[in-house]
A and B are shown apart, each in its own frame.
Chain A
C-alpha cells in the first residue's frame, strides 16, 4: 500500500489524517513518528494479504468459554 510512497508523501498523509483524528501533530512530531508509522504500515500490509472470508467476523473482545 505505502511501498510506492515517498517519505514526504507519507508525512503529508499523516498530517492530514491527524486532523481527522483530532490530533494537531507538528512537523517535528510527524518526523519523530515517521519510522514508527512505516513499521505499522508494514504490519497492515501483512494483515491485508490474508484472504478473509465474508463470514469471518471480528473478535474485538473475545471470551473463551470453558469446555467442561
Chain B
C-alpha cells in the first residue's frame, strides 16, 4: 500500500466513483480527507488495498490530535491498542482474510461499554479506575468484524442527562446533547466514522440530531446490552451512530443479533440492512403528527420537518396525519418512574458502598436515592400502563409504514418559548419500536445549527427506516456538511 496522501486522495475520489450501489450515496459526500471518509468509502478502499487500516487509523489519530482539545469527545483514546489492532487487520487483509466492510474501520464506543483492559468509567468518578475483564457484546462484535477500537466517548455520568461535557462541533459554545454526546461529537468532528450510543430517553437520537449525524435506536431486543452499564434494563437500547444512513446500516448488520448473555435479545433472522437502500419511497405511507402537536417547536425545526415532508411527497410517498395514543403523556411520566426505579436497583450496590464517590451534586446519586423511595406499586402501575400504551401503538402503526417527526423541538442550546406538548422521543423507548435520527438541515436563527428528523417504524422493521432515510439523504446534502474546526 504505502500511497502518499496526495496520491491517495486522488485515487480515493476516483475509487469512490466506482463504488457499488451500497456505497454510491456515501461517495456523494465529497470527502477529501481520510478522517471524513464514510465507512462505505473507506471499506471499498481497504478491500481493494488502496488504503491500509494502519493509514486510516493513523489519520484518525492525527485528527484527534488536531481537534480533540476543542471538542472533548473522548474519555479515553486507546492509541497503542488501536495501532496494534490496525497492524493486525492490515496483515489479515494482506493474507487475503478480508472480513467485510468494517474490517480496518476505526470505531469508538460510549464509555458505558465494557472494554477489556481499557477503562470504562461511565463518565463517573465512581468508576474512574474500573477496567473490565471482558468486552461488551457490541464491542466484541465490532472487533470480530475487524473494526479498530479507537477509544471511549464522553457522556454525562452514568448516562443521566442530556448535556454531555463535550462541545458541539457546530458551535463550540453549545451542548452536543446527550447522553451519547461524545459519540455524536466525534463523528461530526471527523474523529470517527463509526460509534455506538445508548438510548433510554432519546440519548442516541438527541445528540445525533444536534450534531448532524445519523443515530439508530434499534428495536428493543435487537442489539445486545450485555456488558453495557445500564440506566434502566427495560428501557435501554444500544445502537449505531454514523455520518450516513448507508454506514449506519452497515454497522447494524454487525451489531444486531441474538445474544445468549442478554435475555432480552430476540432470536430473529437478521437481514442485510443495506439491501433496503435505494428502493425509494413511492407508495410508502408516512404517518406525521398533527400540526398543533409541533406548533410550539422552534421555527427552524418545523421548517426542516416540512421541507423534508415536501421531499417525500415529491418522491411519491403518501402523508397521513395521525392522532397520538391517548396514554402518550402519561407514558412519558411512566417512563420516568420506571427509569428511576430500575436505576435505583442497579445503583443499590454503589449507594451502599461509598456514595460520596459519585462526586458533588451528582445526578446519578440523587436519581438512585429518590428511585429507592418510590413504592413498588407505583413502579408496577407504570409497567401496567406500558402494556396499554403498547396496544395503542400497535393500533396506531397499523395505518402507516413509518412515522416521521422533527428530530428535536429546538436546535442545540436554544430555549423554547413554551413547554412543548410532546417531543416524540421517549415514547419509542417505552414501546421498544425502532427510531432513527437523520440530518435535515440547519437553522437560520441562530445560523448554522443542525436540525433533524426522527423516523420510526414497527418492531424489527429497521429496513424500512433505512429505506426511507436513505431516500431523503440521497435528495439532500446535509450529511455532507462539515463544521469549521
Contact with B along A24-68 (1 / 0, CB 8 A): 010001001100110110111011111010001111111111100
| Binary flags per residue of B347-374, CB closer than 8 Å to A gives 1, else 0 | 0100110000000010000110111111
> Is A14 within 8 A of B268, CB to CB?
no
CB pair B460 A59 closer than 8 Å: no
A40 near B337 (CB under 8 angstroms)?
yes
CB within 8 A of B234: which of A22, A50, A61? A61
Interface string of B317-355 (1 = CB under 8 A from A): 000000000010110011011001000000010011000
- A5 interfacial contact with B, CB 8 Å: no
Shortest B428–chain A CB gap in Å is 12
Tell me the nearest residue of chain A to B351, going by C-beta. Answer: A23
Quick check: B390 and A62 within 8 Å, CB to CB? yes
Q: How far is the CB of A46 from chain B (nearest CB, A)?
A: 4
Q: A64-B219, A66-B266, A66-B459 are in contact. Are A44 and B352 (CB under 8 A)?
A: no
A22's closest neighbor in chain B, by CB? B352
Assess whether A60 is in contact with B383, with CB atoms less than 8 Å apart. Answer: yes
A29 to B380, CA, bound (A): 26
Other-chain residue from A33, A50, A61 in contact with B233 (beta carbon distance below 8 A): A61
Chain A CB within 8 A of B5 CB? no
Q: How far is the CA of A66 from the CA of B459 in the complex (A)?
A: 7
Of the candidates B233, B268, B370, B432, which one forms a contact with A36 in the assembled complex, judged by CB atoms under 8 Å apart? B370
Contacts of B382 in A (CB 8 A): 47
Partner of A63, one of B233, B264, B383, B384: B264
* Contact pick for B384, options A18, A25, A29, A58, CB 8 Å: A58
The yes or no answer to B162 lying at the interface (CB within 8 A) is: no
Closest B residue, CB atoms, query A30: B369
State how many angstroms separate the Cβ of A43 from the closest Cβ of chain B: 4
Residues of A contacting B459 in the complex (Cβ-Cβ under 8 angstroms): 64, 66
Residue of A nearest to B383 (CB): A58
Give every chain B residue within 8 A of A66 (Cβ-Cβ): 266, 268, 459-460
The answer to whether B388 has its CB under 8 Å from any CB of chain A is yes
* Contact B268 A62, beta carbon cutoff 8 Å: no
* Chain B residues, Cβ within 8 Å of A50: 327, 330, 385, 388
Name the contact of A46 in the complex, choosing from B330, B373, B386 (C-beta under 8 A).
B330
Contacts A14-B373, A47-B382 given; does A60 touch B234 at CB 8 Å: yes
Residues from chain A with a CB closer than 8 A to the CB of B330 are 46-47, 49-50
Given contacts A23-B369, A36-B367, A48-B381, contact A59 B327 (CB under 8 A): no
Interface flag for B378 (CB, 8 Å): yes
Cα distance A58–B264 in the bound complex, in angstroms: 16
In the complex, whether B220 has a CB less than 8 A from a CB of chain A is: yes
A57-B384 contact, Cβ under 8 Å, with A36-B366, A64-B219, A66-B459: yes
| 5 pairs, A vs B, C-beta closer than 8 Å | A32-B366, A40-B337, A40-B374, A42-B333, A66-B268
10 other contacts beyond A22-B348, A56-B387, A64-B219, with CB at 8 A cut-off? A21-B372, A29-B369, A33-B369, A36-B367, A36-B370, A44-B374, A47-B334, A48-B378, A62-B432, A63-B266
